[in-house]
Amino acid sequence: MKDVRVRFAPSPTGALHIGGVRTALYNFLLARQQGGTMILRIEDTDQNRYVPGAEQYIMDSLEWAGIKIDEGVREGGLYAPYRQSERKHLYQQYAQQLLSSGHAYYAFDTEQEIEALRERQKAAGSDQQQYSSATRTTMRNSLTLGAEETKKLLDSGTNYVIRFKIPENEKVVLTDLIRGEVSVNTTQLDDKVLMKSDGMPTYHLANVVDDFLMKISHVIRGEEWLPSAPLHVLLYKAFGWEKDMPQFAHLPLLLKPDGNGKLSKRDADRMGFPIFPLTWKDPNTGEQSKGYRESGYLPEALINFLAFLGWNPGTEQEIFSMDELIQAFSIERIGKAGAKFDIQKAQWFNQHYLRAKPDAELATYLLKTLEQENIECTKEKALKICSAMKERIAFPQELWEHGKFFFAAPKTFDESVISKKWNTEARQVLTAFRNALKEMNAFDATIAKSTLEQVTTTLNIGMGKIMQALRVSITGLGGGPDLMMIMEIIGKAETVNRITFALDTLPQHTT
Ligand code: GLU
């Protein structure tokens, strides 16, 4: 079997969309599983759409996600250069080959002439392809003008493009590894431009030439490229490269969460979740979009989530490390149907991976945030907070956002708890508990608990009845991690102060 060589071939026209990360991931998984090679090729031949910073952004994103590149712009490799703008001479050479073999031709038509063709077709009610075997005979190209006239035009520097001469009425069949047999008749294809008037190749020519030269074994890419695949097959044939043609796998679309249509940046913005792996500032508009990384997603969670958008292992197992994905992945288990983008599922994965992190790692994160907030905290306290909060958060920033009460007494108290639970019995228990604490020397979660048990037993009031009132007096909130542990972390003096403050400020006689 051919060596597995796959490529991720983005165009640096902006930030990498999350769907692009999935495409890169599937390529990477296959490469690693088969002991193959993962290539990053930058397809930057469309100079009008070039965006500065985009290439670097793509590389940074893949690196953050843990998708390692074996050959590429940065890594180099046997088939360098990996940036298409540096391979111009090659495309020119291969375009010449197609011209000589009669598979391509020069076309000199101006924009107006192309527009006139469009108008003629519209008037005739034709649903034919625009520039095709049916119409090329009516246009100004090397086929209609003849060799001499063509040479004259070329010599005088007239603008031209090179078009592919699509064979007439031929059935093109390709086997897609996901979709099975896909066939189309060439009457449905038009004579695509291969070389533009600026001397740059179009996507089609550069992509096919490079896949061939770089010995690509599998082309794994988004479904939006499926309509181009028959043209690519014809190009392989025209070049005489048929036996080296890669296998194709067109990945299902990523759909909006409700399944109605393709997921767009606008949908993501509207629903408040990121569409880009890392934060991106559009250099043209100045618009800043927050990334998955900056929103607190862990790369391993995002990878696990993306792997399941289109693929499944055929078992109940949902949690997969990158290594496990490499083991389990197979193109056969990728579905045809679009994959609904369910951000809640991404959060669920994130929560899982966050819980699995050692407290020390979370503590480092928390301490960094606290430093930015100018709040002092010992490592020991940070560790305890992380251990207490870990089960309750989905993102690392929530350690701080949901744990502010560890550092400051509440200024407000959850109204719904107060109205239901702040009653005479609660005040009685809280007063007695506070007084008992005042008398003590040693203090920790266990002591807090036994003291509270004693107080409630003595007063003959069920502990369950007053727990929420105690919690709200200490944290201001109706829910949170283990209350005894919270008291241990903030310490005895602070616990006493907070209960006293609540008793002094909250209404006396609510039942
Ligand atoms: N440059 C194309 C893109 O931006 C590559 C498509 C392909 O993989 O063939 O997605």
pLDDT at position 130: 86
Q: 229 to each of 221, 334, 336, how far by Cα in Å?
A: 11, 19, 16
pLDDT at position 509: 58
pLDDT at position 507: 83
Q: What is the pLDDT of residues 91-125, one digit of tens each?
A: 999 999 999 999 999 999 999 999 999 999 889 88
Which of 30, 210, 221 for mutating ligand 1's site (highest number of atoms within 8 Å of CB)? 221
State the Cα–Cα distance between residues 78 and 329, nearest whole angstrom: 27
Which of 6, 38, 87, 203 for mutating ligand 1's site (highest number of atoms within 8 Å of CB)? 203
With a 6 A CB cut-off, is 232 part of the ligand 1 pocket? no
With a 6 A CB cut-off, is 46 part of the ligand 1 pocket? no
State the Cα–Cα distance between residues 260 and 373, nearest whole angstrom: 42
pLDDT at position 125: 86
With a 6 A CB cut-off, is 192 part of the ligand 1 pocket? no
Return the number of other C-beta atoms located less than 10 Å from residue 26's C-beta: 26
How far, in Å, is the centroid of ligand 1 from the Cα of 9?
Answer: 5
Angle at 458 between CA 447 and CA 429, to 5 degrees: 70
pLDDT at position 511: 52
Residue 387 contacts residue 481 (beta carbons within 8 Å): no
Helix (H) or strand (E) holding 195: strand 193-195
Residue 33 contacts residue 327 (beta carbons within 8 Å): yes
Domains for the chain: give ranges and CATH numbers.
5-72+207-253 (3.40.50.620), 89-195 (3.90.800.10), 265-355 (1.10.1160.10), 357-404 (1.10.8), 409-511 (1.10.10.350)
The full length of the chain comes to 511
pLDDT at position 276: 98
Query: Looking at the annotation, which residues are catalytic?
Result: 265
Q: What is the pLDDT of residues 352-381, one digit of tens each?
A: 999 999 999 999 999 999 999 999 999 999
With a 6 A CB cut-off, is 44 part of the ligand 1 pocket? no
Instruction: Give the residue whose CA is nearest to atom 3 of ligand 1.
Output: 10
Instruction: Give the residue whose CA is nearest to atom 10 of ligand 1.
Output: 10
Averages of pLDDT over runs of 10 residues in the chain (511 residues) are: 93 97 98 98 93 97 98 98 97 98 98 93 83 94 97 97 97 97 95 96 98 98 97 98 98 95 95 97 95 98 98 98 98 97 98 97 97 96 97 97 97 95 96 97 97 98 96 97 98 98 84 52
With a 6 A CB cut-off, is 226 part of the ligand 1 pocket? no
State the Cα–Cα distance between residues 283 and 57, nearest whole angstrom: 12
C-alpha closest to that of 279 among 461, 102, 57, 492: 57
Q: In the 8-state DSSP scheme, what is residue 428?
A: H
Strand pairing category for 71-72 and 37-40: parallel
pTM score: 0.93
How far, in Å, is the centroid of ligand 1 from the Cα of 56?
Answer: 17
Instruction: Give the residue whose CA is nearest to atom 5 of ligand 1.
Output: 9
Q: Which atom of ligand 1 is nearest to the CA of 23?
A: 8
State the Cα–Cα distance between residues 130 and 114, nearest whole angstrom: 9
pLDDT at position 192: 97
Q: Sign of torsion, CA 23 26 28 30?
A: negative
How far does Cα 246 stand from its chain's mean position?
26
Residue-wise over 476-505: b if at least 16 C-beta within 10 A, else e? bbbebbebbbbbbbbebeebbebbbebbee
Residue 507, token pair as written in the block: 């209404």
Q: Which atom of ligand 1 is nearest to the CA of 13?
A: 4
Q: How many Cα neighbours within 13 Å face the side chain of 216?
A: 27
